[in-house]
């Protein structure tokens, strides 16, 4: 048996202090675990350091998120995503004249309607009417040169519009596409009471861009003299039947019974 003398601290009876607590026991508890009066203890410096490291790591990941999840880096160069089964069925094909006019209507609303008006009648003073216009309904190369380069001087009627400045180019930023040019030309020639009944194709529009770039006065407005001398002809290119079915998205011909295909999504170029 152990001798009580081996533990002298329990031999003496504990006495309460003036406040009713036992100082000796309280001191022992304080040594074991320092608890604040509110029952909470300060956060360890190690916990604070760990949180700081985690926040730095998170910031680094978010800061490089543009590259971390970059599609071009995840997949090899030249890879093209294959559409899911059934996902490549785009809108049904349309008659060529309708598909081209649908594109042309958008171009008209953004580039032409301000001057020529919603009915293409102009105002008679500054902006001419395109209803029954000999230049709009005549040779397609002449018409395309006016759209791409603008016009300075008198028109087919002999009247000069828009004052000394003339008609501005409708491609000032060099961002008009062949699809837009062919669409708006087809739209004007088959709308507003005009019934030309033909389609200015994308192939013809591409030729128009090439012809415009090779003009001796490239970048300047065309004049009546230049139009008559150099552009009184039809644009080169294969003529298509206005009723031929085409893809309304790409304007490419579509075989009978085949639906238009949505374009294949290619990955963005790697940075």
Residue 228, pLDDT score = 94
Rg for the chain, CA atoms, rounded = 40
Domain ranges of the chain: 16-69, 94-246
Residue 195, pLDDT score = 96
* CB distance 191 to 174 below 8 Å: no
Residue 260, pLDDT score = 47
Residue 74, pLDDT score = 59
pTM across the whole model: 0.63
CATH fold for the domain made of 94-246: Cytochrome Bc1 Complex; Chain D, domain 2 (1.10.760)
From the list 187, 184, 182, the residue with the least C-alpha distance to 201 is 182
Cα torsion angle, 130, 135, 140, 145, sign: negative
Residue 174, pLDDT score = 86
Query: What is the SS3 assignment for 103?
Result: helix
Burial class (CB in 10 A: 0-12, 13-18, 19+), 168: middle
Q: Please report, for residues 102, 146, 219, 225, the alpha-carbon distance to residue 222 in angstroms, rounded to integers and kept in the order given.
A: 28, 7, 9, 8
Residue 175, pLDDT score = 86
Residues 6+ apart with CB under 8 A from 94: 102, 245, 246, 248
Number of H helices, E strands in the chain: 12, 2
Query: What is the SS3 assignment for 253?
Result: strand
pLDDT per residue rounded down to tens, the chain (271 residues) = 545 455 454 444 555 555 555 566 666 666 665 555 555 667 778 888 899 999 888 877 776 655 555 555 556 666 667 766 666 567 899 999 999 999 999 999 999 999 999 999 998 888 899 999 999 999 999 999 999 999 998 887 778 877 668 888 888 888 899 999 999 999 999 999 999 999 999 999 999 999 999 999 999 999 999 999 999 999 999 999 999 999 999 999 987 555 444 444 444 444 4
């Amino acid at each position: 048996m152990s001798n009580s003398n081996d533990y002298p601290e329990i031999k003496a009876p504990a006495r309460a202090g003036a406040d009713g607590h036992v100082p000796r026991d309280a001191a022992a508890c304080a040594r074991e675990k320092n608890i604040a009066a509110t029952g909470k203890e300060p956060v360890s410096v190690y916990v604070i350091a760990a949180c700081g490291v985690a926040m730095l790591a998170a910031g680094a990941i978010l800061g490089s998120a543009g590259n971390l999840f970059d599609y071009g880096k995840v997949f090899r160069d030249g890879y093209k995503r294959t559409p899911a089964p059934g996902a490549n069925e785009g809108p049904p094909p349309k008659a060529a004249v309708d598909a081209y006019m649908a594109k042309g209507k958008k171009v008209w609303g953004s580039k032409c309607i301000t001057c020529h008006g919603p009915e293409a009648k102009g105002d008679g003073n500054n902006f001419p009417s395109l209803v029954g216009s000999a230049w709009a309904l005549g040779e397609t190369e002449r018409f395309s040169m006016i759209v791409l380069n603008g016009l300075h001087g008198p028109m087919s009627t002999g009247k000069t519009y828009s004052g000394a400045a003339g008609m501005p180019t409708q491609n000032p930023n060099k961002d008009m596409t062949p699809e837009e040019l062919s669409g708006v030309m087809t739209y004007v020639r088959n709308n507003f009471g005009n019934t030309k009944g033909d389609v200015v194709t994308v192939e013809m529009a591409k030729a128009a861009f090439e012809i415009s770039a090779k003009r001796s006065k490239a970048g300047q407005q065309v004049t009546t003299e230049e139009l008559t001398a150099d552009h009184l002809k039809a644009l080169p290119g294969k003529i298509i039947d206005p009723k031929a079915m085409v893809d309304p998205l790409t304007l490419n011909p579509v075989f009978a019974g085949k639906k238009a295909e949505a374009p294949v999504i290619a990955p963005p170029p790697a940075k």
